Amino acid sequence: MFRRCRVCGSFNLKKIFSLGGQPLANKLKKTIEEKVKTYPLDLYSCQHCTLLQLGKVVSKEEMYEEYFYIPSVSKTGLEHFEKLSRRLIFELDLKKGDLVVDIGGNDGSLLKFFQKKGMKVVNVEPAKNIKIPSNILVYRHYFDQQAAKDIVKIQGKAKLVTGTNVFAHVDNLQGFLKGLDILLDDDGVFFAQFPDVRNLLAQNQFDTIYHEHLSYFTYEPLHHLFANTPFELWQITSDNIHGGSMQIWVRRRQKLLEQFIKNVDEIRFNLREYLTPKVTRIIGFGAAAKGTVLLNYCGLDNTVIDYIVDGTPYKQGKFVPGVNIPIYPESKLLQEKKGTIVLILAWNFKEEIMEKLKGRGFTFIVPIPKVQIYENSNSG
């Protein structure tokens, strides 16, 4: 019945939990008389890479060709997708005309937010019964290498490939990644979201274990999975949706360092382009260590930055090393006039800082992860 670990290939699998024989959770009966099949719902742990996984794999056709779950009926789900799309567009700097492919995109609820921003979209959705808006290009197929080739032939390479609550459904993960290698552009990103095992265990979410969810990922098996592929985990994040979800951001391995160096140079260029030559007063907010590094690398000294404010009494009255910028209490900033530029060096607290100074007519500059300008605090 059970083969090998779908991540590392080990035969050393230990059965740790069973929910007995269960029907397919999303395959609803059409009549009360209809007979249903049951399948073992047993959870195994790989003793090599630690992946938690189901032992029984039900065929894709049995589970997905007719599917009854759609995300668009949930206000919470739609709000999550809208927020997620904004975050992906911002962090990946997506542009009009870029291709976004959603694997298992269901009724297109996520893709419509990218489409509204002018991006090309493709929905890879095998369920034949799910209705998808006519303005969204649909590929009615399970995602594999051939599907990737077909999409590239017609639409080109994708800047973003998403799989929300899909990646954990995949049995042949290596084949999936080979298809991703074909589809993803050189600087493209794969984003996946799936149940977070930490929440599942801590909150007794045993009802999240069902036949669609073949894999229950934690950090170790994820790193093991991508170790010998063209890809690398760029970051791992989380969200509260669906009782707690893990999110992985994956990029091509050889591009990560190159892109980092390029991005840092771009930050320095953009900061100097905007702040020099100096045309108005410029105040820094936050005399943190990260600010010292940024100011010195970007060459922003006391001829550019008038002073820095910080709420820590021990820092006040001192000077930032290398650039000799004086540090004052936050109250000094309240004396500044409308139009003053505030460079938020403590960018990890940007929302708090902009809210604190809201309505004063300042222009805020947030340097990380890329330079962004917020005029007159309207975007706080």
As a whole number of angstroms, the distance between CA 27 and CA 55 comes to 19
CB burial string 339-365: b at 16+ within 10 A, e below: ebbbbbbbbeebeebbeebeeeebbbb
Percent of the chain with pLDDT over 70: 98
H helices of 16-104, in order, are 60-64, 75-92
Mean model confidence pLDDT for the chain: 93
The size of the chain, in residues, is 380
DSSP conformational letter for 210: -
Task: Render pLDDT for 313-364 as a digit per residue (tens, 0 to 9).
Answer: 999 999 999 999 999 999 999 999 999 999 999 999 999 999 999 999 999 9
pLDDT at 61: 87
pLDDT at 170: 95
Residue where the block lists tokens 């790193």 = 223
Would you tell me which CATH number, out of the four given (3.40.50.620, 3.40.50.150, 3.30.300.30, 3.40.640.10), belongs to the domain 71-257?
3.40.50.150
CA distances from 362 to 83, 302, 326 (A): 26, 20, 20
Give the model's confidence band at 128: pLDDT under 50 very low, under 70 low, under 90 confident, else very high. Answer: confident
pTM, 2 dp: 0.72
Q: Is the pLDDT of residue 5 over 80?
A: yes
Q: Is 108 exposed, middle or buried (0-12, 13-18, 19+ CB in 10 A)?
A: buried
Give the pLDDT mean for 32-36: 92
pLDDT at 380: 40
The pairing of strands 325-328 and 319-320 is antiparallel
Closest CA to 251 of 158, 348, 124: 158
pLDDT at 202: 93
Closest CA to 188 of 147, 224, 223, 234: 234
Domain 71-257 and domain 276-377 have a common topology:
yes
Max distance between CA atoms of the chain, in angstroms, equals 82
Q: Is the pLDDT of residue 179 over 90?
A: yes
As a whole number of angstroms, the distance between CA 208 and CA 358 comes to 43
Answer yes or no: CATH 1.10.8.60 is held by domain 276-377: no
As a whole number of angstroms, the distance between CA 183 and CA 147 comes to 9
Q: Is the pLDDT of residue 60 over 90?
A: no
pLDDT at 2: 53
Give the model's confidence band at 272: pLDDT under 50 very low, under 70 low, under 90 confident, else very high. Answer: very high
H helices of the chain, in order, are 60-64, 75-92, 111-116, 145-155, 173-183, 197-202, 219-226, 256-275, 289-298, 350-356
Show me where the domains of the chain are located: 13-63, 71-257, 276-377
Give the pLDDT mean for 91-106: 95
Give the pLDDT mean for 115-122: 96
Task: Render pLDDT for 152-167 as a digit per residue (tens, 0 to 9).
Answer: 999 999 999 999 989 9
